[in-house]
């Protein structure tokens, strides 16, 4: 492979991870089917590249659908692994292939760590600019520093790896100790716990604190979808009770009019200050930048705030009002991008209601977003990233393995058209339906009770996310010996007291430091990374890793 070919392949890999591919990097460009075709074209054998990429894509489809869990980078396997296999005549069922992908998985963990931590620092830059009410600089983070750093940690490593021979690749990977690899993963979990604690500082107040603990408890027995539905049911009951207390003389809790009976906001609030052009700009910003500064701490929060940046500039005149708007949209947010656009549209509609005079506080915004992101994320993962992508990949890979380049082409066209169409329809649906429901809720005295329930739902879902985003536990090797008997600390001690107790204690400790000791989140970020490496180093010395 020439230097020029290696540079071009590395550029394609960098572009597949960048913010300038219309949000289709994870859906299309990162898929080994597409990566193999591109690599094959650059190396002069597109049919072999497409066939190898299709075979790899089918065998690693579950990995290619990992959205925000920061798992192995399947794109690195496609843009680096496939050319190395092509040039060395390694087939997908060859034992050498497993060694190649194992080595690349270790490299990808290191690269993902470097990107996730840097972007976590950028999230605090965004907080700083948001406090000044500067929506432009909040949005610039996605375009400037995050993309420059992304290029550094994608193009350069890919180019260097492509210049290695197979044995060198495996040997370099083996030089990274296991405890360091574990520390990288532990850092990710601890920073996610910090992001949850920051949202809990807003949401976990009054009865919402009980909802947070209920969500954590329920997560032991329920998956994400049932958990969200259970939280919605409990929060709805609580909202009914709250509304009844606000209107003690009212015989019925629900007015005769339903949301579908009122298509537009009430005239008393005046016309909407937002134009269709404002909505299109917000949607386009979400499409391009939802994952631009993806970070360990609050995930897609900068991308979400960027999509709301033009709305903040249009709706709010003073810097204080814009600062409050940006601050509430920089909370933790993580969802599937296409269906998740509905949450962006709904947030635009809520901001519009607030600008027109409705009282909606920060906790209510964060609660509504957190509940929506969980429901949309689960549905989007199952339908869009799961069923839809699996079908498209299977069809494209089947043709590619028959030496037919029509397979990758059809996959790209079909996936791009469907995903972008779903995203636009979801955004419009979220905006129009939230406007309709909010207008009905205000007319029928349900707005306050509904937002009251939204805060409780958000706290419930946030508690449930603990086990998903911060699954902290002691390693299986953490044992103590008493008279020759070995006792596993995690399974025989901690889990018997309370399963998954460590993530809860970590989040509660961080919440206490943030709320009652006023420790800065940036200080905690650095301390948690240092703690992760110190703990893993100690566990390694103790022989537990």
- pLDDT tens string 361-403: 999 999 999 999 999 998 998 899 888 888 999 899 989 988 8
Q: Residue 283 domain-assigned?
A: yes
pLDDT at 69 (0 to 100): 52
Find, among 319, 310, 384, the residue nearest to 344 by Cα: 310
State how far the Cα of 100 lies from the Cα of 94, in Å rounded to an integer. Answer: 10
The reported pTM is: 0.92
- Cβ-count burial of 441 within 10 angstroms (0-12 exposed, 13-18 middle, 19+ buried)? buried
Q: Residue 201 domain-assigned?
A: no
Q: Where do runs of H (alpha helix) occur along 18-144?
A: 32-43, 46-59, 61-64, 74-76, 82-88, 95-131, 135-143
For residue 145, what are its two tokens? 């520093």
How does residue 445 score in pLDDT terms, banded at 50, 70 and 90?
Answer: confident
64-78, 286-300, 323-337, 353-367: range with lowest mean pLDDT: 64-78
- For the chain, the average pLDDT equals 90
Residues 462 and 524 in one domain: no
pLDDT at 471 (0 to 100): 93
DSSP state letters, 327-374 = HHTSS-B---HHHHHHHHHHHHHHHHHHHTT----HHHHHHHHHHHHH
Chosen domain end from 447, 469, 491: 469
482, 293 contact by CB (below 8 A): no
pLDDT at 235 (0 to 100): 92
pLDDT at 386 (0 to 100): 81
Find, among 405, 410, 416, 413, the residue nearest to 53 by Cα: 405
How does residue 263 score in pLDDT terms, banded at 50, 70 and 90?
Answer: very low
How does residue 43 score in pLDDT terms, banded at 50, 70 and 90?
Answer: very high
pLDDT at 155 (0 to 100): 97
Residues 265 and 402 in one domain: yes
pLDDT at 245 (0 to 100): 74
In this model, does residue 19 exceed pLDDT 60? yes
Q: Residue 128 domain-assigned?
A: yes
Residues 487 and 420 in one domain: no
Q: Residue 177 domain-assigned?
A: yes
Chosen domain end from 448, 469, 490: 469
- pLDDT mean over 246-254: 47
Residues 454 and 491 in one domain: no
pLDDT at 255 (0 to 100): 37
Residues 172 and 239 in one domain: no
State how far the Cα of 246 lies from the Cα of 267, in Å rounded to an integer. Answer: 25
- pLDDT mean over 266-295: 87
306, 389 contact by CB (below 8 A): no
95, 85 contact by CB (below 8 A): no
Is residue 279 within a helix (H) or strand (E), and if so which, with residue range?
helix 276-289
Residues 305 and 343 in one domain: yes
Contact residues for 470 (Cβ-Cβ < 8 A; gap 6+): 189, 190, 192, 193, 196, 503, 506, 507
Residues 461 and 502 in one domain: no
Find, among 492, 455, 457, 376, the residue nearest to 202 by Cα: 455
- pLDDT mean over 73-83: 92
- Structural domain tally of the chain? 3
For residue 61, what are its two tokens? 């489809």
How many residues comprise the chain?
Answer: 545
- pLDDT tens string 103-148: 998 999 999 999 999 999 999 999 999 999 999 999 999 999 999 9
Residue found under tokens 């406090």: 131
pLDDT over 90 for what percent of the chain? 71
Q: Residue 162 domain-assigned?
A: yes
How does residue 224 score in pLDDT terms, banded at 50, 70 and 90?
Answer: confident
Residues 234 and 121 in one domain: no
Q: How many helices (H) and strands (E) does the chain have?
A: 25, 2
Residues 119 and 253 in one domain: no
State how far the Cα of 311 lies from the Cα of 294, in Å rounded to an integer. Answer: 22
Residues 238 and 185 in one domain: no
List phi, psi (to 5°) of 2: -80, 165
Chosen domain end from 154, 177, 192: 192
Domain enclosing residue 339, as ranges: 221-469
Residues 401 and 346 in one domain: yes
In this model, does residue 21 exceed pLDDT 70? yes
Q: Residue 211 domain-assigned?
A: no
Classify 206 in phi/psi space as left (phi over 0), alpha (psi -120 to 50) or beta. left
State how far the Cα of 59 lies from the Cα of 229, in Å rounded to an integer. Answer: 33
Residues 440 and 483 in one domain: no
Write the CA distances from 477 to 185, 186, 255, 535, 540, integer angstroms.
17, 16, 60, 14, 10
Q: Residue 237 domain-assigned?
A: yes
pLDDT at 264 (0 to 100): 45
How does residue 521 score in pLDDT terms, banded at 50, 70 and 90?
Answer: very high
Residue found under tokens 């259970």: 230
Q: Which residues pair with 289 in a beta bridge?
A: none
Find, among 209, 210, 241, 214, the residue nearest to 227 by Cα: 214
134 versus 482: the higher-pLDDT residue is 134
State how far the Cα of 37 lies from the Cα of 15, in Å rounded to an integer. Answer: 15
Find, among 467, 48, 92, 440, the residue nearest to 261 by Cα: 440
Q: Residue 206 domain-assigned?
A: no
For residue 232, what are its two tokens? 């919605």
- pLDDT tens string 155-170: 999 999 999 988 888 8
In this model, does residue 336 exceed pLDDT 90? yes
- pLDDT mean over 281-305: 96
DSSP-derived 3-state class of residue 110: helix
């Amino acid at each position: 492979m020439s230097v020029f070919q290696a540079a071009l392949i590395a550029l394609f890999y960098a572009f597949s991870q960048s913010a300038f591919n219309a949000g289709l990097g994870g859906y299309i460009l990162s898929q080994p089917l597409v990566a193999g075709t591109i690599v094959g074209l650059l190396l002069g054998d597109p049919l072999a590249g497409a066939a190898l990429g299709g075979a790899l894509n089918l065998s690693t489809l579950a990995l290619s659908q990992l959205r925000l869990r920061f798992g192995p980078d399947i794109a690195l396997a496609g843009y680096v692994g496939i050319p190395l296999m092509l040039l060395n005549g390694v087939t997908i069922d060859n034992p050498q292939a497993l060694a190649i992908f194992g080595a690349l998985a270790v490299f990808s963990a290191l690269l993902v760590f470097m990107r996730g931590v840097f972007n976590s620092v950028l999230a605090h830059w965004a907080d700083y600019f948001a406090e000044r009410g500067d929506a432009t600089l909040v949005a610039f983070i996605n375009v400037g520093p995050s993309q420059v750093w992304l290029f550094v940690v994608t193009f350069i490593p890919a180019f260097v790896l492509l210049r290695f021979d197979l044995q060198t690749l495996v040997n370099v990977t083996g030089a990274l100790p296991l405890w360091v690899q574990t520390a990288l993963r532990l850092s990710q979990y601890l920073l996610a716990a910090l992001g949850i604690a920051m949202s809990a500082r807003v949401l976990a107040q009054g009865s919402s604190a009980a909802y947070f603990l209920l969500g954590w408890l329920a997560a032991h027995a329920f998956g994400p979808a049932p958990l969200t539905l259970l939280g919605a049911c409990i929060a709805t009951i609580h909202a009914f009770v709250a509304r009844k207390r606000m209107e003690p003389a009212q015989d019925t809790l629900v007015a005769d009019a339903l949301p579908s009976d009122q298509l537009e906001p009430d005239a008393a609030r005046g016309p909407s200050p937002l134009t269709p052009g404002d909505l299109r700009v917000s949607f386009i910003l979400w499409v391009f930048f939802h994952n631009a500064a993806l970070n360990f701490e609050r995930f897609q929060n900068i991308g979400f705030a960027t999509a709301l940046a033009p709305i903040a500039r249009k709706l709010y005149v003073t810097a204080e009002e814009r600062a409050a708007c940006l601050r509430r949209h920089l909370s933790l947010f993580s969802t599937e991008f296409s269906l998740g656009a509905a949450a962006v549209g709904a947030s635009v509609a809520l901001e519009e209601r607030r600008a027109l005079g409705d009282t909606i506080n920060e906790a209510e915004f964060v609660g509504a977003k957190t509940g929506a992101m969980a429901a949309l994320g689960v549905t989007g993962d199952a339908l869009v990233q799961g069923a839809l992508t699996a079908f498209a990949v299977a069809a494209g890979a089947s043709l590619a393995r028959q030496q037919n380049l029509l397979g990758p082409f059809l996959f790209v066209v079909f996936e791009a058209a469907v995903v972008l169409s779903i995203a636009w329809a979801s955004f419009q649906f979220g905006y129009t339906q939230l406007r309709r429901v909010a207008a009905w809720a205000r007319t029928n005295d349900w707005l306050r009770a509904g937002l009251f329930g939204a805060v409780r739902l958000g706290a419930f879902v946030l508690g449930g996310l603990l086990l998903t985003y911060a699954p902290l536990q002691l390693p299986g090797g953490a044992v103590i010996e008493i008279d020759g008997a070995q006792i596993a600390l995690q399974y025989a001690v901690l889990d018997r007291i309370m399963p998954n107790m460590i993530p809860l204690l970590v989040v509660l400790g961080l919440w206490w430091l943030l709320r009652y000791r006023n420790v800065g989140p940036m200080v905690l970020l650095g301390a948690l990374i240092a703690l992760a490496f110190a703990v893993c180093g100690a566990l390694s010395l103790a022989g537990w890793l």
